[in-house]
A and B are shown apart, each in its own frame.
Chain A
Amino acid sequence: MAGVANTWGYGAMTNSLNDIRHAKSMIFIGSNATEAHPVALQHILHAKEVNNAPLIVVDPRFTKLAAKSTDFVRIRPGSDGAFIMGLINAVITNGWQDKEFIRTRVSGYEEMAEVAAHYTPEIVEDITGIPASEVTRIAEMLATNRPTSLTWCMGGTQHSIGSSITRSFCILQLVLGNMGKSGGGTNIFRGHDNVQGATDMGVLADNLPAYYGLSDGAWKHWCKVWDVDYDWIVGRFPAKEWMNKKGFSLARWYEGVLNEEEIETPTPIKAMIQWGCGSNSNSQYNRVVKALNMLELLVIVDPFPTIAAAVTKTDNVYILPGASQYETSGSVTSTSRQIQWRHKVVDPVYDSKSDYQVMELLVNKLGFADEFYKNIKQTPEDITLELGSGSLTIGYNGQTPERIKKHLANWHTFDIDDLQAKGGPCDGDYYGMPWPCWTTEHPGTPILYDISKPVAEGGLPFRNRFGEERTYESSGRTENQLAAEGIYNPGSEVLGGYVEFKEVVPGTNWKTDLSQKTIKDAISRGMAPFGNARARCVVWNFPDKIPIHREPLHSPRPDLVAKYPTYEDKPNHFRVNTRYKSEQNPDLVKEYPYVITTGRMVEHMGGGAETRSNKYLAELQPEMYAEINPRLANNLGIRKGDMMIVESPEGSKIKVKAKLTPRVDEKTIFLPFHFAGTLMGESYVKDYPEGNAPFTVGDPANVVTNYGYDIVTQIQATKDGLCKVTRA
């Protein structure tokens, strides 16, 4: 998401699931939506069937989505960026780029084109394994079937160059002129309904809620919203400097406990709360288990005891039975930035308590209930109101609990094609008021950066977030970063680019003016509070200013490691030293010859604590397995149903059943990541609270996913490691 936000302002899906119905072509890269987002398929298949839209699937596996595709392209894991830069180059060399869109709404194009020129179809074939003719054919298909909806998921992000790969996706859509248009966009599917909401609320190591960052200004803004004394918040930290520093990330929190790597923290982590988190979704899982056992206190809040409860041998683990989504209520945000109210179906069963109750008991015990609940008298409505009043950056302020509930009660009045209510009590609103929803009268923004509509009616230009002017290092060229003359939303006072709104109320800007006068002033003048700028191809604050290919840390191609080496090691990357160059050993492939990649199965979810505890889902997918190509299996003497050992370069091993299938090619092993509960034949079933073990257990895939993290976001690189395979 960092790559996307740094291109045009926001790091979220730009259009909506429904809007894919208008696509004239679709490309999915690193997304198996059929298994991960089955409900979205109705819209994807609609575009395929009704619009005759080609459905292009780019993936290392012939996935269930590939089964529905018109064109399947098998790619080597980790080479997505090279393929996309190749498409961009093919588009440019054939003159298929949207020249007017680029001239008026894009910056850094020339510098980017120079870099893309390296990725000729032949070079792309060498890096990705995709035939050169296919690169040109797919590029032509996209050029002749506009707009294209582009979707990626974790297959696009979980790489050491993930933030470059996501930017290449954005640039492709800019070059084709597919942004801000119905049927186009970068439609990054998030997981279940509140993954987008959780991200928006700052469940990140480097941000306060609504992407405000960690600066003093950000803290002061939220202190005002929470109505608590800034100095009191400062006093909660061991020293003020830690308020402004990134924390440990989800990907590597355990390093803060183990204290074996070089870490930068006032003290190693001693206690942890895992609230609705399956620890087996972490790579380097053996290290995770070691860290869980070193904690002085571990609290697990979950409807099901997770694997963390079973693998810990210490006495200081507390399992709090959290209620499920059906036993509580509140607002949730979907992948399409839509907010919906979720009503309670039943009271929490047995001893379980809703998340709000657990939080309240905890806060009372810790002794800061007065500060915590200052604005919250009625739960959860007041929570939605409070977070909305502060989340001005992403326009969460227009979606009041009343409006959200009204949408749900009248959902039948909304159009399936454009999400807009046609008549009825919500007339004109877009379902769920997709953020940004600037005011309580605003209908929501169904498509980001769409300049065909007035801002007051859901239109927006690209955000002015990166200054007014920039001189590029590579070319020495200076470029205005604001949109060109003639680019504006209907009704705009300024007929071209403009900077973000500030000083309407002295000392504030549109993000920090809690009176919201600034936002209202902008809307009344037909303008976007965040300005009207260009989307940028050059992200000067990233290590790779223009996306380039770099080989995975553990690469099967020593020759390409020499040509496309990884980054220098990065100390203090989210508080922990992170190895790149020193980890990239080109000879590793001699001993670990197969590529390992992981993914979803439709029956299970995340770490699987919930779904493996459902007898019917467990019946449908009762066993952990590894997908192996029949030819490779035969060469290794592994028969269908045999157990096989998968070993990572770190020396960790799992024992899993062999599933012989042509879904994977002869060089790739695929593992679903939902299993836990056994390890190399040892079972942890006895270690769950009695009667609470899941129906099905297996070795976690993340025991053998390799070391490796994105250079910007530190997301774990679980899609492009190496492994060794033997018959058990």
Chain B
Amino acid sequence: MRIEEEDMATVKFLCDVERCIDCGGCVVACKEGHHVPVGVNRRRVITLKQGEPGEKSISVSCMHCADAPCIAVCPVDAIYQRTDGIVLVSKKTCIGCGYCFMACPFGAPQFPAGNVFGARGAMDKCTFCAGGPEENFSAEEKKLYGQNRIAEGKVPLCSGMCATKALLAGDADVVADVYRERVFKRGSGVNAWGWSRAYQK
């Protein structure tokens, strides 16, 4: 039993910025697939230096941190981490205080939109398409968290949709191997980081 647990994967997202083309496919796949309300962004694409040489885009969501600051600050222990590393929130426990929002370096925690004095409501964020604490595939789970594709043995919607395979999701070791292989292939010539500076090309 213990050996199996140690063998279990730790899951991670990795967005390959050389590949991300800012198409928003990941964002729309997530929203459409989980019926996320307009205004709540479990994932978004950030573009830097738009319209200039060096323009780069990256798709960002909850990073499912190994040592997640949101878990550390949550006053009601609504946020928890599965053995595979996926960080989830229990919406029934969450009091909507927003501490996690302050603690998160990535702006991942989302709160339903309301009026100016509106209550924040329970926190919503990327579930790695793994649903929530409710029973797998239950109507309650679907209503509160959306699909549970991990329990179905599928990859998250966002990376499944990614047209350029920029957004990788899964076992961190496998993701790292895929990315490392890509970097090796890009390794020489025009695509290598620093090449143009080193050789004045």
Contact = CB atoms under 8 A, between A and B. Distances in A.
Contacts, number: 70
Interface in B24-40: 24-25, 27-28, 31-32, 38-39
Contacts of A579: none
Contacts of A661: 50-51
A18 to B, nearest CB: 14
Interface string B50-90: 11110111000000000000000000000000000000000
A67 interface: yes
Specify the main secondary structure of chain A where it touches its partner: helix
Contact of A34 (B21, B38, B39, B53): B21
A366 interface: no
Interface string A606-629: 000000000111011000000000
A413 B185 CA distance: 26
Specify the main secondary structure of chain B where it touches its partner: loop
A49 B163 contact: no
A600 to B, nearest CB: 11
Given A48-B191, A68-B21, A41 B52 contact: no
Given A41-B163, A602-B23, A662-B52, A49 B38 contact: no
A615 B50 CA distance: 25
A617 B23 contact: no
Contact of B32 (A48, A54, A616): A616
A346 interface: no
A38 B163 contact: yes
A35 interface: yes
Given A49-B182, A620-B27, A662-B51, A64 B22 contact: yes
A70 interface: yes
Given A49-B186, A617-B28, A620-B28, A38 B53 contact: no
Interface residues of A, number: 30
Given A38-B163, A620-B28, A663-B51, A49 B185 contact: yes
B163 A619 contact: no
A49 B52 contact: no
Interface string B166-201: 000000000000000010011011110000000000
A619 B21 contact: no
Given A38-B23, A67-B56, A72-B53, A45 B164 contact: yes
Interface string A10-52: 0000000000000000000000001100110110010011101
Interface of B: 18-19, 21-25, 27-28, 31-32, 38-39, 50-53, 55-57, 163-165, 182, 185-186, 188-191
3 tightest Cβ-Cβ pairs between the two chains A and B: A663-B51, A67-B55, A52-B189
Interface of A: 34-35, 38-39, 41-42, 45, 48-50, 52, 54, 62, 64, 66-68, 70, 72, 602-603, 615-617, 619-620, 661-664
6 contacts: A42-B163, A42-B164, A45-B164, A49-B18, A49-B186, A619-B38
